[in-house]
Amino acid sequence: MSTLSVSSDAELIIARERVELLRAEITRHNHRYYVLDAPEISDAEYDALFRELKRLETAFPELASADSPTQTVGAAPGRTFAVVEHRLRMLSLGNAFNAEELLAWRQRAADLLDREEWTFVTEPKIDGLAIALVYERGCLVRAATRGDGRAGEDVTANLRAIDSIPNELWGNPPPLFEVRGEVYMPKAGFDAMNANIAALNEERQAEGRAALTLYANPRNAAAGSVRQKDPSVTASRPLNIGIYQLGWCDDAPTPDSHWETLGWLAEFGLPTTPEVARHDGIDDALATCEAWNQRRDAQVFEMDGVVVKVDDLNLQADLGIVGREPRWAIAWKFPPQEASTVVEQILVNVGRTGSINPYARLRPVRVGGVEVKNATLHNLDDIRRKDIREGDTVVIRRAGEVIPQVVRPVLERRKDSAEWEMPSVCPGTTCGELDCANEHCGGDRGRLDICEGAWCGAPVSRQDDDVDFYCSNRHCPAIVQRALEHFASRGAMDIRGLGEKLIKLLLREGAIRDPADIYTLPDRLEALARIPGLGQVKRRKGEDLYEVGDRLRNLAEAIRWSKTRGLAHLLVGLGIRHVGSENATLLADEFGSLDAILLAPREALAAVEGVGPIIAESIVDWALDGENWSLAHRLQTAGVEDEIQRVAGAPAETPLEGLRFVLTGRFGAITRPQAEAQLKALGAGIGSSVSKNTTALFAGEAAGSKRKKAESLKLPIWDEHRLIDGLANPATILDWLAESEPSNAD
């Protein structure tokens, strides 16, 4: 595949399909990791998917999207707690997996700063749950999870119950400020808690009660403990916190370096990350990272790497942020742990787009304290490249989570075996039972005929050099199932209670066929109650009576509520290729109704900023399909909200519409985020880097490489005085631009 920005149509088609699959898979894993606290894959495998996606988006810039996982953080907050908007976005970190990548990161920073020497800080990267704490007049007033970086869950009551988090600070802290840290569970506390749960389960078993679930690892235990509904449960868990950063601070002077900031925060009684170190150069920082790898197992907490940061906060401001990651920090990731086991079977499942995805069922093995049973095998080419076969002893690698990466087979232990072949026909859905008779389902073949999956049997093929195989049947039971799961998911129509198992049951019983059928369910509760497992059964005079219970009533209410989710969520739920939450919102705001979007010509769709020709083509293709039009009409008939209810009144004034500004350096009278927010409110776009599309640069003190780039492009460069004047009177900005030669501030 080409790594050039100019690519052939064939390469672009292949890359587009792969990018779509990667985005969907990464988004699903983000939800399982950040919201459900139940990850399916290892850190190493997730990192590989993420790096492949970034590599493709770099090689094919036309596939870039604002709602890609490479541009977003974590996952949207759940519904158990109130949602809290973060005043400043909580970010993620880029990764370095070896010395070359760490040194390359440092060189990129040196090029941007136009300097070679500065100090660094290293911190152990504790594997826990990222938290933001707000203190007002020395008292803890709010605690929130990171969520998607812009908004998280309000867990104030629970974090107040953790002994290591001070509710009141010492000394003379600022009147209002935020700190960020990692809530974690020490390894000894985790082991003791799981031992207590195991002992309690013996008592519950003796009483005939269901067993409680053991936690997989300290990270999941910490996240699950923080998200308890009852703060007393959180208080009973052995939790700790390491504060690693000052988020923001009002009306108080702050130190000039990260190192000094951590010491300043510790003076108020805040427990900062242990074993932080300061280094004069990158070589010393690298040596510390490599030393950590040798002693990480001896630490009281789980850690998956070392964070390396630029120490000088002014240099941090100059380096800025790209996408979801700061340029001034990076995570040095430890090599994953390895073990060996046997591939008992190679099986496949079917994705929402019809992709046939192979995976390995492993002989259970414990790696890093966690039992693993399955591993994704990506595609047939990857299986061929690694020469993985059923019955092979293989080396697996994991970095703290459940499903490992299959690294290679141990050929010395291979018995007589044949290469694995992709099924020639699609298996449809699977029930997942170990003793299922369906040979495609993954059980011990032929033992019991209990398969609850739905057979497809359509031909499987791939086109040209595509790495993935696809089912040719658009009505494949697996594709239908996945489409319904997507429609009901939190990012789309958010129908609580309508999950994978219930959808499979309703499909098997013929109760639904597509998303529109979901909205007929509230009128059929009595019939649904007769389906085993859905209704309440009471026996009277030798006869079974089926009654509508809370489960069905709650489901009906969730379905009715979902009708009001709005046009953008409906667009996401329809599953139109390439249409995610970000561009769905842009389309909804621009056109106002589903009919207007589906009837719009390609040119009008592509003209919407953030949409472009690829998404426009996908929408038009979807709308030209008669079955899709029928689905849209039936959803409208069911009363699903498909128009934006625009509020009457004077439109917002956006005098700077169409202009794009970049801010750099330090400002005294206003913070950079505040200025950017006000410029956006006036209709302007904000860029993270200077380019020929930049209208002007607002440069504060110590402006670095961005100023030089603006000078080379002969762009207007304005100082803080003009920034303040322009925000107060936006018309003056237009006057400045109208001048034949805009005056540059020194």
Catalytic residue among 54, 125, 229, 501: 125
First to last CA, the chain: 47
CA gap 399, 331 in Å, rounded: 14
Work out whether the CA dihedral 294, 298, 299, 303 comes out positive or negative: positive
669: Cβ contacts below 8 Å, ≥ 6 apart: 720, 724
Residue 541 catalytic?
no
Output the CA angle 166-169-174, nearest 5 degrees: 130
Cβ-count burial of 130 within 10 angstroms (0-12 exposed, 13-18 middle, 19+ buried)? buried
Q: Which residues contact 730 (CB under 8 A, 6 or more apart)?
A: 655, 656, 682
Closest CA to 23 of 59, 41, 49: 49
Token look-up 């988004």 returns: 27
Is the separation of the CB atoms in 244 and 307 below 8 Å? yes
Where do runs of H (alpha helix) occur along 174-324?
A: 187-206, 218-226, 231-236, 258-266, 282-295, 313-319
Q: Label each residue of 587-614 as H, E or C.
A: HHHHHCEHHHHHHCCHHHHHCCCCCHHH
CB atoms within 10 A of CB 441: 23
Short-list 331, 399, 437, 392, CA closest to 101: 331
Rg for the chain (alpha carbons), in Å?
28
What span, in angstroms and rounded, lies between the C-alpha atoms of 122 and 470? 46
Tell me, rounded to whole angstroms, the distance of Cα 560 from its chain centroid. Answer: 28
Helical ranges in 540-645 per DSSP H = 550-562, 567-573, 581-591, 594-599, 602-606, 612-623, 626-637
Largest CA distance in the chain: 95
Tell me which amino acid residue 541 is.
K
C-beta neighbour count of 677 within 10 angstroms:
11
Active-site residue numbers? 125
